[in-house]
Amino acid sequence: MSAVTTTAAPSANLAQRGKGAFLGLLAWAVGLLFFLPVAWMVLTSFRSESDAATNPPSLTAPLTLDSYREFFGGGASPWPPLINSLTASLLSTLLVLVLALPAAYALSIRPVKAWRDVLFFFLSTKMLPIVAALLPIYLIAQNLGMLDNIWLLIILYTAMNLPIAVWMLQSFLAEVPASVIEAAQIDGARLPVILYRVIMPIAGPGIAATSLICFIFSWNEMLFARVLTGVTAQTAPVFLTSFITSQGLFLAQMCAASFAISLPVLAAGFAAQDKLVQGLSLGAVK
Amino acid sequence: MSTSPTAAPPQSSGADAGRNDSARRPAAARRASVWARRAPLLPALIFLIIMTQLPFAATLVISLFDWNSLYPDDRAFAGLANFGEVLSDADLRSSVLTTIILTTTVVLASLVLGLAIALLLDRSFRGRGIVRTLMIAPFLVVPVAAALLWKHMLFNPEYGLLNGSINWFAGLFGIDNPIQPDWISEMPLLAVQISLVWQWTPFMMLILLAGLQSRPGDVMEAARLDGAGNWQMFRYITLPHLRRYLELGGLLGSIYIVQNFDAVFIMTQGGLGTANLPFSIYQTFYQAHEYGLASAAGVLVVIGSIILATFALRVVSSLFSEEGSR
């Protein structure tokens, strides 16, 4: 880059800079265009219902908290579904970590012989479509009396996220240099100390990112939740589906509900931004 | 890049250690050590086998029965009849086609868009970090909420933002009655595709941006000095380097989009020719209560997925060993 600018004539330099500024503006325009629906959702959620549904749209209509008041205090309370979603997402993420951390350890730091094959077996289960397992799971749950029970979702979400978590954690744990562990062993450190003092500090951010991604996938899941829960174990995305065929003025409230339910994921995703790519690409992209 | 020094050494040092052990220790101790190695793996492995293989075995069994839960007494062994019915059912066959069209168009469109945006974001400009953050947002909206937003807030023919903007722009030019299409009724599949492309482009962009940023700097510099133009640089250096990232993004995207249920369920309720396989199976089971038929369709989806997965695993595996060998 620098070679070009120093050898080029001044006029070419100016053209180069003009082109650079244009491409920068273009990037901003595209970014804003992709963000527009999210921004418009937030803006609409603070409108009154009659201001939300105008054509052409209004940028200057007054802001109000009415739709949030209606959403949280109106007819069907969103709190039980939100608490169910939080319970299912947090507990399943915790279970995933309990199962996946030792497994990832046995696939990276102190690997079993066929660790690659095992790793690929984990990944292959992720490629089986959820919908094909739906009916047997429904029947089994029915026989065990587990329908409409939040624990059923916790177990299913654990199974759903386990393969990804094992892959991600394996790639994060593999980043811990073997020499550091050996040095600690030579110093006489025992396994718990090595885990806590050596491995955790290095793999900690990766473990956090893995947890966030598992949390996001559990929080977003709708098909299992819709088929297997009813009233008591209903989750937030299922609650949202009540807006599919709403009649009358409901746009502001729908935006408020969508924003409120997406907020934990948006927060978690932005927090884990840097590790998001590595996680989502199963550790193949650094 | 960084798995090579990390993933390989623990393996080799582990294998060496195992060999040394075996020379010194008696067989029983050796077996104990092998099991000590395996033990941490077993809970996750056993749990996953139970949770994934058993339901599919059950699906396979149910698919051989003529079973409608509304008529529980009529349950009977039907052999392969369900499969014949699935394959000759026009609705299910069209949902296979819809799944293929939906997946390929969404994956390709988001790959191309993602690549273009990743190229824009690879250059340094003021506020690059902010634009990157803005770009990720669509991927972080809960899928149900995203589908609802597109259905009601953007595509609604009366007050949606899309038609509202058309109206507003037309007003600027003094046009009185601009076109106000009913997007979802007139172009249902396109509407679903657009909403999915909006959600998945950020995903592709993130993977491809990581790929762009791992291009070897010295090669780029050398090519520049040799007088390579922008297009030549892109065609002969960037694109070959990105190939495996494109493959990875495409395959991971396919795995998720083949299974997509939320967008179809919410935007069109599977109507207007947008029912894909997950939706059709859901409907056969949940609304028509045809358990045998739904399971047979499920088995066929699993077979399709295995074919897809074989390719996908091969690509991931080649990525894996490529990284390991470098």
A142-184 pLDDT, tens digit each: 888 888 889 999 999 999 999 888 988 888 888 888 888 888 8
Cross-chain Cβ contact B164/A258 below 8 Å: no
Same domain, A89 and A217: yes
In this structure, whether the domain defined by B85-325 belongs to CATH 1.20.1250.20 is answered with no
pLDDT in tens, B266-279: 888 877 778 888 88
Q: Is A240 found in the same domain as A173?
A: yes
Mean pLDDT within B223-243 = 84
A224 domain-assigned: yes
Residue A286 lies in a domain: no
**Mean pLDDT of chain A, nearest integer:** 83
pLDDT value of position A28: 92
Which one, of B173, B192, B244, B189, lies nearest residue B1 by Cα?
A: B244
CA distance B58 to chain A (A): 6
- Asked whether this complex has an ipTM greater than 0.95, the answer is no
Question: Which residue did the predictor score with more confidence, A192 or A84?
Answer: A84
Query: What's the Rg (C-alpha) of chain A?
Result: 25
- A243: nearest CB among B44, B148, B319: B148
Q: Do residues A137 and A213 both lie within one domain? A: yes
A279, two tokens: 């996680």
- Chain B hits for A30, CB-CB cut-off 8 Å, are 117, 120, 131, 135
Give percent of chain A above pLDDT 70.
93
- Name the residue with higher pLDDT: A93 or B8: A93
pLDDT in tens, B79-137: 777 788 778 888 888 888 888 899 999 999 999 999 999 999 988 888 888 998 899 99
One domain, residues A120 and A213: yes
A contacts of B323 (beta carbons < 8 Å): 284
pLDDT at A93: 95
CB A132 to CB B127 under 8 A? no
CB pair distance less than 8 Å for B266 and A244: yes
- Highest mean pLDDT (candidates A167-176, A221-230, B32-41, B249-258): A221-230
- The domain total for chain A is 2
Residues A62 and A170 in one domain: no
Residue A172 lies in a domain: yes
- B325, pLDDT greater than 50: no
Residue of A nearest to B35 (CA): A112
Mutate to test the interface with B, among A55, A86, A118, A276 (most CBs of B within 10 A): A55
**A250 and A160 fall within a common domain:** yes
A233 and A100 in a common domain: yes
Residue B16: band (very low, low, confident or very high) from pLDDT cuts 50, 70, 90: very low
pLDDT at residue number B285: 81
Q: Which of A28, A54, A127 sits opposite B159 (nearest CB)?
A: A54
- For residue range A109-136, what is the model confidence (pLDDT) as tens digits? 888 888 888 888 888 887 777 888 888 8
Indicate yes or no: CB of A162 within 8 angstroms of CB of B48.
yes
Burial B144-157 (b: 16+ CB within 10 A, else e): bbbbbbbbbbbbbe
How many residues are present in chain A?
A: 286
| Contact criterion met (CB below 8 Å) for B48 and A125 | yes
Please tell me the predicted confidence (pLDDT) of residue A76: 77
B142 CB neighbours in chain A (<8 A) are 219-220, 236-237, 240, 258, 261-262, 265
**Is A112 in Cβ contact with B41 (below 8 Å)?**
yes
User: Of A49, A68, A87, which residue is a domain's last?
Assistant: A68
One domain for residues A139 and A40: no
Residue A49 shares a structural domain with residue A92: no
- Which candidate from B10, B202, B316 shows the least CB-CB separation from A109? B10
Identify whether A111 is part of a domain. Answer: yes
Task: List the domain range (segments joined by +) for residue A254.
Answer: 76-280
Mean pLDDT, to the nearest integer, of B71-77?
71
So what's the pLDDT on residue A85?
A: 92
Task: DSSP for A106-163, please give it.
Answer: TTTTS--TTHHHHHHHHHHHHTS-HHHHHHHHHHHHHHHT-TT-HHHHHHHHHHHHHH
The answer to whether position A40 is within a domain reads: yes
Top pLDDT among B105 and A275 is at B105
Say what the pLDDT of residue A283 is.
64
| Final residue of a structural domain among A21, A41, A68 | A68
**CATH code, domain with A105:** 1.10.3720.10
pLDDT over 60 (residue B156) = yes
Domain edges within chain B: 1-52, 85-325
Q: Is it the case that residue A88 has pLDDT exceeding 90?
A: yes
Dihedral sign for Cα A79, A84, A90, A93, please.
negative
Q: Which residues pair with B77 in a beta bridge?
A: B65
Residues A28 and A140 occupy one common structural domain: no
pLDDT of B114 reads: 94
The structure tokens listed for B196 are: 């999915």
* Contact criterion met (CB below 8 Å) for A115 and B3: no
CB contact at 8 A, A78 and A236? yes
Q: Decide if B253 contacts B203 (C-beta within 8 A).
A: yes
> For residue A285, what pLDDT is reported?
64
**Which of residues A52, A68, A84 is at a domain's end?**
A68
Residues A248 and A153 in one domain: yes
Residue of chain A minimizing CA distance to B256: A127
Task: Indicate if A124 and A24 belong to the same structural domain.
Answer: no
Is it the case that residue B50 has pLDDT exceeding 50? Answer: yes
- Residue B105's pLDDT is what? 94
pLDDT at A2 over 60: no
- Residue A285 forms part of a structural domain: no
